[in-house]
Structure 1
Amino acid sequence: MSEAKSNGLPRLVIAAPHSHAGKTTITLALMAALSRRGLRVAPFKVGPDYIDPQLHRRAAGRASYNLDTYLVQPDRVQETFADAARDADIAVVEGVMGLFDGSSPTSRVGSTAEVASLLQAPIVLVVDASGMAASVGALIRGFRTYDPEVRVAGVILNRLGGEGHYRYLLPALEQEGVEVLGYLPKQLDVEIPERHLGLLPASEEDRVTPLLDRLSDLGEQYIDLDHTIALARTAPAPTPKDVSSLLSQSSAPRVRVAWAQDEVFHFTYQENLDLLSAAGVEIVMFSPLWDAALPENIDAVWLGGGFPELHAEALAANTPMRQAIRAGGENGLPIYAECGGFMYLCEWLEDQHGQRYPQVGLISGGTRMTDRLQQFGYAEATFLHDTLLGPAGTTVRGHRFHYSVYEPGGAPLDCAYQITRKRTGESHLEGFRHRHVLATYFHVHLGSQPGMASYFAAFCGRRKCQ
Structure 2
Amino acid sequence: MIACPALFVSAPASGQGKTTLTAGLARLHRQAGRRVRVFKTGPDFLDPMILAHASGAPVQSLDLWMVGEEACRALLAQAAREADLILIEGVMGLFDGTPSSADLARTFDVPVAAVVSAKSMAQTFGAIAFGLAHFRADVPFHGVMANRVGSARHAQMLQEALPDDVRWLGHVSSDALLELPDRHLGLHQASEIADLDARLDRAAEALAHTSLAELPPPVAFEEPARGGAVPRLLEGRHVAVAHDAAFSFVYPANVALLEAMGARVSRFSPLADEPAPANADAVWLPGGYPELHAAVLARNARSAASLRAHCSDSKPLLAECGGMLWLLDALTDAHGRRTPMLGLLPGEATLQKRFAALGMQQLESVAHGALRGHTFHYSHVSTPLAAALTARNPNTGAHGEAVYRHGSIVATYMHAYWPSNPAFTAALFHGTAF
**TM-score of the superposed pair, with normalisation by structure 1:** 0.87
Deviation at 1:67, TM superposition (A): 0.8
Structure 2 residue aligned with 1:445: 417
Residues 225 and 36 from structure 1, CA distance in 2 versus in 1: closer, same or farther, beyond 3 angstroms?
Answer: farther
**Aligned AA (1:313):** A
Deviation at 1:272, TM superposition (A): 0.9
Structure 2 residue aligned with 1:62: 57
**Aligned AA (1:60):** S
Structure 1 residue aligned with 2:223: 240
**Aligned AA (1:446):** W
Verify: 1:33 aligned to 2:5, yes or no. no
In 2: Cα distance, 1:368 partner to 1:443 partner:
19
8 Å contact 2:257–2:422 — kept in the other structure? no
Verify: 1:328 aligned to 2:310, yes or no. yes
CA offsets 1:52-101 (integer angstroms, 9 cap, x no match): 00111111111101111221322222222223453111111000111111
Find runs of 4+ consecutive structure 1 residues off by over 6 angstroms.
Answer: none
**Aligned AA (2:407):** R
In 1: Cα distance, 2:389 partner to 2:198 partner:
43
8 Å contact 2:2–2:222 — kept in the other structure? no
Structure 2 residue aligned with 1:155: 144
Verify: 1:47 aligned to 2:42, yes or no. yes
**Aligned AA (1:195):** R
In 1: Cα distance, 2:107 partner to 2:259 partner:
27
CA offsets 1:164-203 (integer angstroms, 9 cap, x no match): 332343344371242x332110112222211111111112
Verify: 1:113 aligned to 2:102, yes or no. yes
Residues 292 and 128 from structure 1, CA distance in 2 versus in 1: closer, same or farther, beyond 3 angstroms?
Answer: closer
Aligned with residue 185 of structure 2, among 165, 187, 197 = 197
Counting only pairs closer than 5 Å after superposition, residues 96-135 of structure 1 correspond to structure 2 as: 96-103=91-98, 110-135=99-124
Deviation at 1:331, TM superposition (A): 1.4
Structure 1 residue aligned with 2:373: 398
Aligned to 1:364, the other structure's residue is in SS state coil
Structure 2 residue aligned with 1:223: 210
Aligned to 2:359, the other structure's residue is in SS state strand
**TM-score of the superposed pair, with normalisation by structure 2:** 0.93
Counting only pairs closer than 5 Å after superposition, residues 320-359 of structure 1 correspond to structure 2 as: 320-359=302-341
Alignment: residue pair count: 433
CA offsets 1:222-281 (integer angstroms, 9 cap, x no match): 434652x0xx2242x122223554x64626422211111101010011111111111111
In 2: Cα distance, 1:420 partner to 1:7 partner:
38
Deviation at 1:393, TM superposition (A): 6.0
Verify: 1:209 aligned to 2:197, yes or no. yes
8 Å contact 1:378–1:399 — kept in the other structure? yes
Deviation at 1:325, TM superposition (A): 0.4
Residues 260 and 432 from structure 1, CA distance in 2 versus in 1: closer, same or farther, beyond 3 angstroms?
Answer: same
Residues 66 and 314 from structure 1, CA distance in 2 versus in 1: closer, same or farther, beyond 3 angstroms?
Answer: same
8 Å contact 1:421–1:427 — kept in the other structure? yes
Residues 453 and 419 from structure 1, CA distance in 2 versus in 1: closer, same or farther, beyond 3 angstroms?
Answer: closer
8 Å contact 2:275–2:303 — kept in the other structure? yes
Aligned to 1:188, the other structure's residue is in SS state coil
Aligned to 2:329, the other structure's residue is in SS state strand
Residues 226 and 24 from structure 1, CA distance in 2 versus in 1: closer, same or farther, beyond 3 angstroms?
Answer: closer
8 Å contact 2:76–2:221 — kept in the other structure? no
**Aligned AA (2:333):** D
8 Å contact 2:273–2:301 — kept in the other structure? no
Residues 296 and 85 from structure 1, CA distance in 2 versus in 1: closer, same or farther, beyond 3 angstroms?
Answer: farther
Verify: 1:361 aligned to 2:330, yes or no. no
Aligned to 2:129, the other structure's residue is in SS state helix
8 Å contact 2:401–2:414 — kept in the other structure? no
8 Å contact 2:10–2:91 — kept in the other structure? yes
Deviates more, 1:201-210 or 1:190-199: 201-210
Deviation at 1:338, TM superposition (A): 0.4
Structure 1 residue aligned with 2:398: 426
Deviation at 1:207, TM superposition (A): 4.1
In 2: Cα distance, 1:249 partner to 1:151 partner:
38
Cα-Cα RMSD: 2.4
Structure 1 residue aligned with 2:171: 183
In 1: Cα distance, 2:231 partner to 2:323 partner:
28
Unaligned residue ranges in structure 1 (runs of 5+)? 1-5, 104-109, 384-390
Residues 417 and 233 from structure 1, CA distance in 2 versus in 1: closer, same or farther, beyond 3 angstroms?
Answer: same
Aligned to 1:215, the other structure's residue is in SS state helix
In 2: Cα distance, 1:321 partner to 1:189 partner:
38
In 1: Cα distance, 2:401 partner to 2:234 partner:
31
In 1: Cα distance, 2:233 partner to 2:415 partner:
26
In 1: Cα distance, 2:133 partner to 2:332 partner:
49
**Aligned AA (1:238):** F
Deviation at 1:429, TM superposition (A): 7.0
CA offsets 1:91-114 (integer angstroms, 9 cap, x no match): 1100011111113xxxxxx10001
Residues 226 and 128 from structure 1, CA distance in 2 versus in 1: closer, same or farther, beyond 3 angstroms?
Answer: closer
**Aligned AA (1:162):** S
Verify: 1:417 aligned to 2:389, yes or no. yes
8 Å contact 1:65–1:84 — kept in the other structure? no
Residues 136 and 354 from structure 1, CA distance in 2 versus in 1: closer, same or farther, beyond 3 angstroms?
Answer: closer
Deviates more, 1:284-293 or 1:201-210: 201-210
Of all paired residues, the percent bearing the same amino acid is 36
Residues 50 and 252 from structure 1, CA distance in 2 versus in 1: closer, same or farther, beyond 3 angstroms?
Answer: closer
Deviates more, 1:211-220 or 1:90-99: 211-220
Aligned to 1:35, the other structure's residue is in SS state helix
8 Å contact 1:275–1:453 — kept in the other structure? no
Deviates more, 1:7-16 or 1:87-96: 7-16
Aligned to 1:192, the other structure's residue is in SS state coil
